[in-house]
Amino acid sequence: MSERPDFWDDPDDARKLIAERQTLETGIEMVQLLEQEAHDGLELAELADGDEDMLADVMRSLTAALKRAEKAELEALLSGEADGNDCYININAGAGGTESQDWASMLRRMYVRWAEKTGYKVEEVESHEGEEAGIKSATLLIKGKNAYGWLKSEQGVHRLVRISPYDSAARRHTSFSSVAISPVIDDSIEVEINPSDVRIDTYRASGKGGQHVNKTDSAVRLTHAPTGIAVACQSGRSQHQNRATAWEMLRSRLYMIELERRQQAVKDGHDAKTDIGWGHQIRSYVLQPYQLVKDVRTSFETSDTSGVLDGNLTPFLSAALSHSLGETEPADT
């Protein structure tokens, strides 16, 4: 294919074909590897001849192969237009001041830890710190194959119940934060934006970044008048970099609106007009009076609250993907 004289006449198409080929080759290699592991496992089981230690090793190997196969099966079904793309995670604290802002910060850490464990790269695009603790909002860029496909089910309101570390009376508090997920749009997806519909504001970046960031109006905020969507970027070292990233984020958010329109299922929690509170949550994280994380949509739950908050999200993501495909048994990992 790549040996054709005219292959590189269109570099964009050439890169897409190469990426598709690599995806197919990776899938074929995975199937071949799993087949070989299953074959080897059966042979070793026969050779074990009742040796319990050897049989236990075989079972551990086959169980690990089964989990990889289940995950690969789910990933093979991520066939949406943007499922294979990188994605943005936008986290906003709900009403409740410091409590909700601290909860938003915990969610940010949870997604960063999940991405790191999954082998994805994470970049913080923007963040607005709370007055006392936590964050008012933050946007993360998750880079990796199928990042959007795996994380798209996280969109919605997340509810936390715990004994407040900020309450001197040690009372139980309920906090809410919203999470919005949108894919990074590549050249294969067209999103038209009328520049006259967008207001551009620049301001001084806050937080980390050094003296240069804090002394210049390098941060950029774009507001799309027809939809009210506002995006901001302050992670770049120059206004030019931040402006380019902000336009990319805006295209991503507008694509989500169009995608929801096509699917005829506008989801709660997509923009600032949606209440962040009771009745809109997709998942509850209860730390007091008992330990439980439960997804409202799939009923998948675990008592390992510390593990989930430390990034062990894959079972919930697998359950959500299985649920969306009409399956009943989530793939555990």
Q: Are residues 71 and 95 in the same domain?
A: no
Q: Which residue has the higher pLDDT, 205 or 98?
A: 98
Give yes or no: residues 139 and 18 share one domain: no
Which three-class secondary structure state does DSSP give residue 163? strand
Residue 82 lies in a domain: no
**pLDDT cut 70: percent of the chain above it:** 85
DSSP state of 84: T
Residue with tokens 């709900």: 94
Residue written as token pair 């991503």: 252
Contact of 284 with 297, CB cutoff 8 Å: no
Q: What is the CATH number of the domain that holds 232?
A: 3.30.160.20
Indicate whether 190 belongs to any domain: no
Distance CA 80, CA 87 (A): 14
pLDDT > 50? residue 329: no
CA dihedral 165, 169, 171, 176 (to 10 degrees): -50
CB contact at 8 A, 58 and 40: no
Pairwise CA distance, residues 256 & 178, whole Å: 16
Q: Which domain holds residue 216?
A: 195-263
26 and 72 in a common domain: yes
Name the token pair of 230.
């506002």
The mean predicted confidence, pLDDT, of the chain is: 83
pLDDT bracket for residue 277 (50, 70, 90): low
In a domain, 332, yes or no: no
258 and 281 inside one domain:
no
Domain boundary among 263, 294, 315: 263
Residue with tokens 């096509």: 262
Q: How far apart are CA 57 and CA 64, in angstroms?
A: 11
> Is there a domain that residue 290 lies in?
yes
- Which tens digits make up the pLDDT trace of 156-214? 999 999 998 888 787 888 999 999 999 998 766 778 888 999 999 988 876 554 444 45
Is 47 buried (19+), middle (13-18) or exposed (0-12) by CB count in 10 A?
exposed
Question: Rounded to whole angstroms, how far apart are CA atoms 275 and 15?
Answer: 42
Query: Does pLDDT of 279 surpass 70?
Result: no
Report which of 216, 192, 194 is spatially closest to residue 205, judged by C-alpha positions.
216
Can you tell me the distance from the alpha carbon of 14 to that of 2, in angstroms, rounded to the nearest whole number?
A: 8
For the record, the structure tokens of 286 come out as 């209860």
The answer to whether residue 333 is domain-embedded is no
What's the whole-model pTM score?
0.71
So what's the pLDDT on residue 52? 86
Whether residue 122 is contained in a domain is answered as yes
Lowest mean pLDDT among 124-138, 249-263, 282-296, 312-326: 249-263
Above 90 in pLDDT, residue 75? no
Q: Is residue 331 assigned to a domain?
A: no
Q: Is the pLDDT of residue 266 over 60?
A: no
- Which 3 state secondary structure label does DSSP give 149? helix
Is the same domain home to 214 and 285? Answer: no
| The amino acid at 272 | A
Spatial separation of the C-alpha atoms in residues 137 and 179, rounded to whole Å: 10
**Residue 281: pLDDT band with limits 50, 70, 90:** confident
Asked if 90 and 179 count as a contact pair (C-beta separation under 8 A), the reply is yes
Total Cβ atoms within 10 A of residue 86 = 21
Residues 152 and 176 in one domain: yes
Same domain for 15 and 44? yes
Q: How far, in Å, are 42, 190, 196, 247, 268 from residue 226 at the CA level? A: 62, 18, 11, 16, 19
Summarised one tens digit per residue, pLDDT across range 100-132 is: 999 999 999 999 999 999 999 999 999 999 888
CA distances from 310 to 6, 107, 225, 293 (A): 50, 9, 38, 13
Q: Are residues 167 and 27 part of one domain? A: no
Which backbone phi and psi does 233 adopt, to 5 degrees? Answer: -140, 135
240 plus 111 within the same structural domain: no
Q: Cis peptide leading into 315, omega within 30 of 0?
A: no
Read off the pLDDT band of 24 (50, 70, 90): confident
- pLDDT of 273: 42
Element of type H or E holding 141: strand 135-143
Q: Domain check: are 20 and 92 in the same one?
A: no
β partners of residue 293: 285, 302
* Residues 180 and 285 placed together within one structural domain of the fold: yes
Query: Among residues 76, 96, 123, which one ends one of the domains?
Result: 76
- Residues for the chain: how many in total? 333
Percent of the chain with pLDDT over 90: 41
Q: Is residue 291 part of a domain?
A: yes
Question: What does residue 148 show for φ and ψ, rounded to 5 degrees?
Answer: -70, -40
Max Cα–Cα distance, the chain, nearest Å: 76
Alpha-carbon span 312 to 160, nearest angstrom: 17
| Whether 210 and 157 share a structural domain | no
Number of domains in the chain: 3
pLDDT at 139 over 90: yes
Last-in-domain residue among 76, 102, 117: 76
pLDDT in the model for residue 187: 64
Looking up tokens 């050779």 gives 47
Tell me what pLDDT residue 48 has. 81
